[in-house]
A and B are shown apart, each in its own frame.
Chain A
């Protein structure tokens, strides 16, 4: 009598015959020829893939595949009889930070149909397990970092108008902003996060219904003798009156988790500089014959 397990295995042979050991090698004498097509069926470790074990824990070991003939179990790596107080082991356990509640374990594997107690240890090193899917945790962390970036107390750029607070109609009023890169360090979901922000673009709002930007130029100061000249960020008012001038600075961000590599952030943070009031005046020219001492009733005296 054949057992159900054997029946299932016979069927599985047909289904899985694609993944065969000692796959064909077409010709020899080159790298491509020797290894191309695979001399074994191993596809290589996929970094960042996580699998849930029967026990509920998450691991980057490919456990928990449906119909897997392999069984897997794990034991703590650091707190068993052989290793208690093992500093190196505890240090390695501290690297289990891909999600909360990381633990370092040894995995054991054997044929699922055999006694788990007989399964040999797998791999030369212990590995990390988590009680939460690290992929989901990483997504939560990424969102928390993005929110922290958007809400970070970024110091706005300093706006300067030339001249100010009074300027003239028909003349160029120079507007520029000075903004700087900034660093924020914080704890998010138990991870040490560093966020670096850098001003990249600016929008100039001249207050009379016109604006310029976003542009990458921040403008710059003019010496007083040249006030009134056109600059890339200057504006010429065509009406008199009081106008509120504002500048929005766009900051790009990048972040690192637990001292890891810097990763560019999606989106930008918009930071408004405090607005300033500028009064636009009309200048009138009259020709006069005398100065005010000679003619105190003259124009402008």
Chain B
């Protein structure tokens, strides 16, 4: 499991960017293992896209099903580090994603989601509370 770098625990622009990087590493770990608890531990309950991700992975690994691929390649990141009226900091992330393959027991193949060869941009909105960053909201552009 990825270890949170010290920098990602700092309330600063660099800290937020390091945290965003770490958050996507945890996402990949969840795709690989089916364990989304590490992501949940640093995500708020109202993050709708986070909840969708939990749903996909939990269903992908339900019973003896499993997933492959899906790895996110974190390509580019930027933050103006400006506090929004909601008390959040925004960071932009560009990534590509490998095709997501779904399997079942005894070699069953449920299908492949194409992922994305084309760069995708997400806006991650985070809040610093209790001495750590937490993802409050996540949206794709």
Decide whether A and B assemble into one complex: yes
Which residues from B are CB-within-8-Å of A292? none
Partner of B52, one of A23, A30, A34, A109: A23
Query: How many residue pairs between the two chains, A and B, have CB atoms under 8 Å in the bound complex?
Result: 143
**In the complex, what distance in Å separates the CA atom of A35 from the CA atom of B67?**
11
Binds B, one of A114-122, A200-208, A220-228: A114-122
A123 to B63, CA, bound (A): 35
Q: Determine, out of A2-10, A136-144, A233-241, A276-284, the stretch whose residues face the partner at the interface.
A: A2-10
Kindly state the interface size class of chain A when it binds its partner.
35 or more
CB-defined contacts of B77 to chain A, threshold 8 Å: 111, 114
Q: Which residues of B contact A188 (CB under 8 A)?
A: none
B140:A20 contact, CB within 8 angstroms: yes
Complex Cα gap A27–B102 (Å): 13
Closest CB of chain A to B72's CB: distance in Å?
9
Chain A 14-28, CB-CB to B under 8 Å as 1, else 0, gives: 001101111111011
Chain A nearest CB from B98 CB (Å) reads 10
Which residues of chain B are near A28, meaning CB under 8 Å?
59-60, 62, 65
B92 contacts across to A, CB distance below 8 A:
9, 69, 111, 113
Bound-state Cα–Cα, A70 to B77, Å? 11
Q: Could you pull out 19 A-B pairs where Cβ atoms are within 8 angstroms?
A: A6-B80, A10-B84, A17-B140, A20-B48, A20-B139, A21-B138, A25-B55, A27-B59, A29-B62, A40-B116, A40-B120, A41-B116, A41-B120, A42-B113, A69-B141, A109-B76, A110-B76, A111-B76, A111-B78
What is the interface of chain B, defined by CB distance below 8 A to chain A? Answer: 48-49, 52-53, 55-56, 59-60, 62-63, 65, 70, 75-78, 80, 82-84, 90, 92, 94, 96-97, 100, 102, 104, 109-123, 138-141
